[in-house]
Amino acid sequence: MSILYGFYTADSGQIEIDGQPAKIHNSADAIRLGIGMVHQHFMLVPTFTVLENVMLGREGGALLERGRAETRAELERLSCEHGLEIDPDALVGDLGVGLQQRVEILKALRRGARILILDEPTGVLTPDETDRLFDILRALKRDGVTILLITHKLREIMEVTDAVSVMRQGEMVGHRTPATTTREELAELMVGRKVQLDAVPVTGEPGPVALVADGLSWRDAGGALRLDRVGLELRAGEILGVAGVTGNGQSELLDLLSGIAEPQAGQIRLGERRINSGHPADPAEMRALGLAHVPEDRQHRGLVLSFSAAENVVLGYQGGERAGTGAFINPTGIRALCQKLMDRFDVRPTDPSLRAGGFSGGNQQKIVLAREIDVGPKVLLVGQPTRGVDIGAIEFIHQQLVDLKQAGCAILLVSVELDEILALSDRIMVMNAGRVVGTIDRAEADRHRLGLMMAGIAEGAAA
Amino acid sequence: MKIAPLPRWAEVGLIPVLNIALALAVSGVVIAMLGESPMAALVVMMKGAFVNPGGLGYTLYYTTNFIFTGLAVSIAFHAMLFNIGGEGQAAIGGLGVALVCLALDPVLPGALVIVLAIGASAAFGAAWALIPGYLQAYRGSHIVITTIMFNFIAAGLTVALLTGALMRPGQSSPQTREFAEAAQLPFIHDMLGWVGLGVARSPLNLSFVIALVCCVGVWVLIWRTKFGYALRAMGQSEPAAIYAGIPVQRMVVIAMALSGGMAGMMALNEILGVQHKLLLNFTSGYGFTGIAVALMGRNHPVGIVLASLLFGALFQGGAELDFEFKTITREMVLLIQGLIILFSGALAYMLYPLVGRVFAMVRGADG
């Protein structure tokens, strides 16, 4: 994709657009040729209005007035034609994620895009917003726009596409049409072997309460209330799934529970220890109390990418016996530990001295997971365990979590993937705008009901 | 275009050598423009730095200064802190040495005074870096700004003291009285003389050995202790360090203190080893050159020793150049040093893509 949009130049091969060979050296070439890209992480200026964002890069002269008028007219036309309604004078920072994405699409269309590339567009959307996005894409398709959808979600491919190409490790491994294929076949193509798509949830008898949070509230540095009186109870031998659209307080909840942030109000109880604003605990103390944490952002938090894999298997445990005796670290011991974990978790390549940044996403995640599981935690916090991870590794990671649960560990699973939450959780807690909308049993949950709750529509079944 | 990473030996060995060669080539052009032979100048430099009687001693004496300041910069850099204040920390380290010697050399045995003076140089330098470290960690003042400002404060402070309280009685030059002979670090030529080896006199003294010991110490600290692990983790990724429960703010302060302590020990060489009194401007830019030394030495003690040796040889050989050729002045020598710093410091990665392409071509030819 980066080659198509001109970030990289291809070493060999050529690009043809409408039968004409095209040379794309930079993104300006790509735009000129009618290629528009909607990135997974939006490239918008939050303090600009919709109009200003759309005209960015096409200001039309030194004075803005004329470009502004032209863009406004153009926006109106695009909105009518494709059903992309939006208020041109709203600040982008005030818009919801779904609307911000719409601005990105409008930006691409305004630049005359006839080929629209969307990179994992639904990762940040609620199921409802996803449906609306697909409506728009269908409308654009009718108007003659070519749409290239990059996604790892098989459901979306089956729902909205006309043709699908499967890539594995930089190679095209197959072309299918959704009408004549199945999710299972696509998954097999992606991984190269048969895959169990839906892990079977094994429900056991939950044990004693391991972690309790009560009335947790937290404001960020800007004073915005990110967590509002959140309470939960986590038992040994169960997986509590936390569902919600990205940015509704799940990250902050993990930060508080892991000791990275201090609670400003409310209390956490882990074993005998009570943690509140008067008695905060840092991540080192939480680990000592038996709480392990697989962070949402493995690249920035879970790993030091420039360190070797071996050095990374003691990250967080660098003060303890795992790293070495006394004040010194024991490089041979750490290497041996890493080798053992790599074998057990099937990390490839099996090279403890390779930089963590040199592993694929799935293998990086396995390293983090191996480290946190191997210490034998009482409580495990897991954030987005399979984000950016290939389907084969997803299956493996899910199995590890289920095994750990059955060994009696209490697991809090935060994920924006509803399928993942449904496949693994015993109970599901839904968050919206920093609040707990409700907690329901797995048996009572389905996509539709969770979707409503994620949108903040509470039901009778509140916890 | 993306360039495949170079093999390690090329990255740590070949690239620096190419950079130095390029700097010398440009210097050669300048020398030729002055009407002198670049080859002859190079010979004079090499002879002056390594062959002439006392030349090697002088080279290693300069090297000592660079090792201390280079190590200082590298410790802070492992924590991703740019300590630009080596100059001031060394000056204050010198103040610590002077205070200990002036106060105690009449009453305590020399060896004990030396030990205390070594401790004082590190402690004073550390204290001087600790303040910017604290301000960075807990108040968010940028370390580069504060350490530069602390250089000026240190300079002002030494001037005030040397023209006032610490000035030698009955004299009007801004320096202290000389320390007692027993409280001076022995010269290497004297030490070798004790075991029957006669070498030419030079300012090289025991602090060279202390510097090498510090290299080993820093290597162990950074690469073999839990503290060093935490320091490097923090430098490479602060979010990961926070996640790992490393007390980031405290580590910033400690890293700066260690860095300042190492810079302060540079005063051992100049004050306790050679001058035997505190005087103005003895740091003469070594603190700043330490940045280039650390950069060139890849923040690794072995690299820092090699880079220090290069700069030591440049200083000593450069002085000879000045002496031998009428047209090549002291400023010319500074220019050559500047070119080396420019090519191996600021432009360190300039040749990277080129060398990468050459490697790719060689590999392509193989396959």
Instruction: Retrieve residue B337's tokens.
Output: 């040093």
Q: Are B283 and B90 in contact (CB under 8 A)?
A: yes
Q: What is the largest CA-CA distance in chain A?
A: 70
A388 and chain B in contact, CB less than 8 A: no
* Residue A39 scores a pLDDT above 90: no
Question: Distance (Å) from the C-alpha of residue A54 to the closest C-alpha of chain B?
Answer: 29
Q: Which of A302, A307, A323 sits opposite B226 (nearest CB)?
A: A323
- Specify whether A255 is located in the same domain as A325: no
Which of A343, A358, A375 is a domain's end point? A375
- Specify whether A381 is located in the same domain as A281: yes
Nearest in space to A158 (alpha carbons), one of A193, A139, A185: A185
Average pLDDT over residues A436-446: 91
Paired strand residues for A119: A150
* Residue B366 scores a pLDDT above 70: no
Question: Is A3 part of any domain?
Answer: no
Contacts of A283 in chain B (CB under 8 A): 242-245
Question: Is A424 part of any domain?
Answer: yes
Instruction: Retrieve residue B228's tokens.
Output: 């060093």
- Specify whether A142 is located in the same domain as A39: yes
* Residue B37 scores a pLDDT above 50: yes
| Domain limits for position B201 | 71-298
Kindly indicate the confidence band of residue A202, based on its pLDDT and cuts at 50, 70 and 90. low
**Mean pLDDT over each residue of chain A, to the nearest integer:** 87
Kindly indicate the confidence band of residue B1, based on its pLDDT and cuts at 50, 70 and 90. very low
- Domain count for chain A: 3
Question: Is B29 part of any domain?
Answer: no
Contacts of A284 in chain B (CB under 8 A): 244-246
Q: Are B224 and A328 in contact (CB under 8 A)?
A: yes
Selection from A184-198, A214-228, B122-136 with the highest mean pLDDT: B122-136
Question: Distance (Å) from the C-alpha of residue A74 to the closest C-alpha of chain B?
Answer: 36
Asked which of A33-37, A237-241, B27-31, B305-309 is least confident by mean pLDDT, the reply is A33-37
A/B interface, count of CB pairs below 8 Å: 79
Greater confidence (B11 vs B79) lies with B79
Distance CA B154, CA B145 (A): 14
Q: Which of A285, A315, A327 sits opposite B244 (nearest CB)?
A: A315
Question: Is B157 part of any domain?
Answer: yes
Question: Distance (Å) from the C-alpha of residue A220 to the closest C-alpha of chain B?
Answer: 16
Using the CB atoms, write b or e for B334-359: b if 16+ within 10 Å.
Answer: ebbbebbbbbbbeebeebbeebbeeb
Q: Which of A295, A319, A323 sits opposite B243 (nearest CB)?
A: A295
Contacts of A315 in chain B (CB under 8 A): 233, 240, 243-244
Kindly indicate the confidence band of residue A61, based on its pLDDT and cuts at 50, 70 and 90. confident
Which of A147, A175, A191 is a domain's end point? A191
pLDDT for position A428: 95
Question: Is A2 part of any domain?
Answer: no
Contacts of B232 in chain A (CB under 8 A): 304, 307
Question: Is A296 part of any domain?
Answer: no
pLDDT for position B367: 43
* Residue B287 scores a pLDDT above 80: yes
- Per this entry, what is the length of chain B? 367
Greater confidence (A207 vs A460) lies with A207
CA contacts within 13 A on the Cβ side of B83: 42
- Specify whether A162 is located in the same domain as A33: yes
Average pLDDT over residues B176-181: 92
CA contacts within 13 A on the Cβ side of A141: 14
* Residue A315 scores a pLDDT above 70: yes
Q: What is the pTM of this model?
A: 0.83
A290 and chain B in contact, CB less than 8 A: no
Question: Is B232 part of any domain?
Answer: yes
Q: Which of A284, A300, A328 sits opposite B245 (nearest CB)?
A: A284
- Specify whether A320 is located in the same domain as A463: no
Q: What is the pLDDT of residues B200-246, one digit of tens each?
A: 899 999 999 999 999 999 999 999 999 999 999 999 999 999 999 99
Q: Which of A283, A297, A329 sits opposite B229 (nearest CB)?
A: A329
pLDDT for position B325: 86
- Specify whether A32 is located in the same domain as A127: yes
Q: Between chains, do A327 and B233 touch, taking CB under 8 Å as contact?
A: no
| Domain limits for position A423 | 198-290+376-463
Q: Are B161 and B125 in contact (CB under 8 A)?
A: no
Question: Is B80 part of any domain?
Answer: yes
Kindly indicate the confidence band of residue B18, based on its pLDDT and cuts at 50, 70 and 90. confident
Encoded amino acid at A225, one letter? L
Greater confidence (B291 vs A124) lies with B291
Contacts of B226 in chain A (CB under 8 A): 318-319, 323-324, 327-329
3-state secondary structure chain B: CCCCCCCHHHHHHHHHHHHHHHHHHHHHHHHHHCCCCHHHHHHHHHHHHHHCCCHHHHHHHHHHHHHHHHHHHHHHHHCCCCCCCHHHHHHHHHHHHHHHHHHHCCCCCHHHHHHHHHHHHHHHHHHHHHHHHHHHHHHCCCHHHHHHHHHHHHHHHHHHHHCCCCCCCCCCCCECCCCCHHHCCCEHHHHHHHCCCCCCCCCCECHHHHHHHHHHHHHHHHHHEHHHHHHHHHHHCHHHHHHCCCCHHHHHHHHHHHHHHHHHCHHHHHHHHHHCCCECCCCCCHHHHHHHHHHHCCCCHHHHHHHHHHHHHHHHHHHHHHHHCCCCCHHHHHHHHHHHHHHHHHCCCCCHHHHHHHHHHHHHHHC
Instruction: Retrieve residue A206's tokens.
Output: 């939950």
Average pLDDT over residues B159-167: 90
Question: Is B356 part of any domain?
Answer: no
- Domain count for chain B: 1
Interface of B with A (CB under 8 A): 1-2, 224-230, 232-233, 236-237, 239-240, 242-247
Average pLDDT over residues A170-186: 83
* Residue A144 scores a pLDDT above 90: no
Q: Between chains, do B244 and A303 touch, taking CB under 8 Å as contact?
A: no
Question: Is B189 part of any domain?
Answer: yes
- Specify whether A371 is located in the same domain as A249: no
pLDDT for position A463: 41
Which of A324, A345, A375 is a domain's end point? A375
pLDDT for position A199: 52
- Specify whether A133 is located in the same domain as A144: yes
Average pLDDT over residues A411-429: 92
* Residue A195 scores a pLDDT above 70: no
A333 and chain B in contact, CB less than 8 A: no
Distance CA B158, CA B174 (A): 9
pLDDT for position B14: 83
**Mean pLDDT over each residue of chain B, to the nearest integer:** 91
* Residue A58 scores a pLDDT above 80: no
pLDDT for position B197: 86
Question: Is B102 part of any domain?
Answer: yes
Greater confidence (A84 vs B261) lies with B261
Using the CB atoms, write b or e for A308-325: b if 16+ within 10 Å.
Answer: bbbbbbbbbbbbeebbbe
Question: Chain A 220-259, CB below 8 Å of chain B: which residues?
Answer: 258-259
Encoded amino acid at A193, one letter? R
Percent of all residues in chain B with a pLDDT value above 70, rounded to a whole number? 97
Q: Which of B2, B233, B245 sits opposite A8 (nearest CB)?
A: B2
Q: Which of A282, A302, A318 sits opposite B230 (nearest CB)?
A: A318
Percent of all residues in chain B with a pLDDT value above 90, rounded to a whole number? 67
Can you list the positions of beta strands (E) in A252-378?
265-270, 273-275, 291-294
Q: Between chains, do B229 and A314 touch, taking CB under 8 Å as contact?
A: yes
- Specify whether A144 is located in the same domain as A25: yes
Kindly indicate the confidence band of residue A462, based on its pLDDT and cuts at 50, 70 and 90. very low
Contacts of A286 in chain B (CB under 8 A): 245
- Specify whether A367 is located in the same domain as A380: no
Question: Is B24 part of any domain?
Answer: no
Paired strand residues for A291: A379
* Residue A357 scores a pLDDT above 60: yes
Average pLDDT over residues A306-330: 94
Distance CA A417, CA A126 (A): 10
- Secondary structure element (H or E) that encloses residue A366, with its range: helix A361-374
Break chain A down into helix, strand, coil percent, rounded to 5.
35, 20, 40
Instruction: Retrieve residue A274's tokens.
Output: 């009570």
pLDDT for position B4: 61
pLDDT for position A461: 45
Average pLDDT over residues A213-229: 91
Contacts of B2 in chain A (CB under 8 A): 8
Kindly indicate the confidence band of residue A201, based on its pLDDT and cuts at 50, 70 and 90. low
Paired strand residues for A175: A165
* Residue A303 scores a pLDDT above 80: yes
* Residue B186 scores a pLDDT above 60: yes
- Specify whether A330 is located in the same domain as A310: yes
Distance CA B262, CA B92 (A): 12
Percent of all residues in chain A with a pLDDT value above 90, rounded to a whole number? 43
Q: Where are the alpha helices (DSSP H) in A180-289?
A: 183-191, 250-258, 283-288
- Specify whether A167 is located in the same domain as A219: no
